[in-house]
Structure 1
């Protein structure tokens, strides 16, 4: 069910319908066999995921900071980076079930 981007999206939406859920991604959103075979990053597919926020992983920088920040502008959720000056926010405040949630990413010292 979750072996493809569409499968992951379906699984996340289904879980969100079942119970209150906050989805965060730990980074390297666009790395995998699809990107390798197609020679391009699936940013449009990633934009369809019901994420609250995602951390920029080291491989998200493979095409450079400019390419990453341009892709991040097209996402409906913030792409975060707290340990490098990449023009991305280091954190975001999100209210969930009347409680503040502050995702940040990645941790200092980690690309």
Structure 2
């Protein structure tokens, strides 16, 4: 829930002692997330570690049951198990989601 007062002090509004009070920016503009590209031989040979924990973000994927989509992305260099979460909205407004785990292993 978001509560706002003109003075910003919630004067006269009692909060539960266990409530978490946190300021946030409200509605935020769309952000661009970094995704590496390995188009050139120099980029492929780079030894800079990729330590991202958000591996792929794309808010504008359009799919249809009759036309399957393939999404390609690079994993980070940090070995571990990553939870992949897919969420979407149908043209009718119906929401759907699924998730699965991807494991990134150390190079041999």
- What TM-score do you get using the length of structure 2 for normalisation? 0.31
Query: Quick one: higher RCO (CA 8 Å, sep 6+), 1 or 2?
Result: 1
User: Greater helix share, 1 or 2?
Assistant: 1
More strand by share: 2
Larger radius of gyration: 2
In the superposition, the TM-score normalised over structure 1's length comes to 0.30
